Amino acid sequence: MSSDNKLLPKRIILVRHGESEGNLDTEAYTTTPDHKIQLTESGLLQAREAGARLRSLLSSNPSSPEWRVCFYVSPYDRTRSTLREIGRSFSRRRVIGVREECRIREQDFGNFQVKERMRATKKVRERFGRFFYRFPEGESAADVFDRVSSFLESLWRDIDMNRLHMNPTHELNFVIVSHGLTSRVFLMKWFKWTVEQFEALNNPGNSEIRVMELGQGGDYSLAIHHTEEELERWGLSPEMIADQKWRVNAHKGEWKEDCKWYFGDFFDHMADSDQESETDATEEDKLNLLTNTEDNNEELCS
């Protein structure tokens, strides 16, 4: 790995919180504020198991024994409790920092939620579109995208300025303990997925882990740690999976020329060369001139 990549985190890992009282029974939201919803006993166990899986993953490379981890966590009770259980698998020397980060909180669905009204509202969202629909008194996924984008800018500044005071001989890992939609939006922003691609994504399960790992060229990919079957199950299209596989060996800053969602949806008749483009433009000018001449003749004769 190049020296430019030494301070980059080896992995950026997204973890959804464990099963919550709201996941078990949506009635909980009618009497308890969303940020106060607690984990169930099953959710606490899921979080502890997630911690064991994380520890196993981070310590799996014998050539990098001096690995470290930095946690970012949503301020909601269920994410804080998830992190607390995850932390049981780590010693203090392995954790170089923990930051509570409001910008990675759950999508705001409003205040106390009336069950029947929320059910009707979610039906409207399915017709309107999950990304742009804004809940009354709450947020849209597009609003979440904006604050996650701001969080990512801060994350990169922390890396660039080495605010974590990271020893370059240590392998750095970021773990972001957050929520289902927030994690999907994070991936959307990072990999520049479109709104249409976001709409097809499936929510991660409780305490599910999604690993973005740094390739040799300095780009991150989901395809290093996860199988193609997993990516399909998450809702990634064949083109998105191919992009993840390309990123495994891509060099930081490279552009994937055949990335269909950047060109095909907008320029489906684009010429392959400047010469063809100029020829097409000349033919179009001739056609426009002929049409205008005919229109003018009609006006003179009328």
Q: Is 117 annotated as a binding residue?
A: no
93 is in an annotated binding site: no
157: left (phi over 0), alpha (psi -120 to 50) or beta: alpha
| 210 is known to lie in a ligand binding site | no
16 among the known binding-site residues? yes
Catalytic-residue membership of 17? yes
Residue 17 counted as an annotated binding residue? yes
Nearest of 110, 106, 105, 115 to residue 138 by alpha carbon: 110
User: C-alpha distances in angstroms, 276 versus 68, 272, 279?
Assistant: 54, 7, 5
Q: How far apart are CA 118 and CA 110, in angstroms?
A: 10
**Would you put residue 143 in left (φ > 0), alpha (ψ -120 to 50) or beta?**
alpha
Other residues' Cβ atoms within 10 Å of the Cβ of residue 157: 10
Q: Would residue 179 show up in a list of annotated catalytic residues for this protein?
A: no
> Rounded to whole angstroms, how far apart are CA atoms 235 and 181?
13
Distance CA 87, CA 94 (A): 10
Residue recorded with tokens 């001449």: 293
Residue 44's contacts (CB-CB under 8 Å, 6 or more residues apart) are: 18, 81, 85
SS3 breakdown of the chain: % helix, strand, coil, rounded to 5?
50, 15, 35
Q: Which conformational region is residue 271 in: left (phi greater than 0), alpha (psi within -120 to 50 degrees), or beta? A: beta
48 assigned ligand-binding residue: no
15 has which bridge partners? 177, 209
CA atoms within 13 A on the CB side of 183: 28
Catalytic residue among 17, 85, 171, 213: 17
Q: Given 101, 106, 171, 213, which residue is catalytic? A: 106
- Is 23 a known ligand-binding residue? yes
Give the residue ranges of the annotated binding site for substrate.
Answer: 16-23, 78
Q: Which residues are annotated as a binding site?
A: 16-23, 78
Give the active site residues: 17, 106
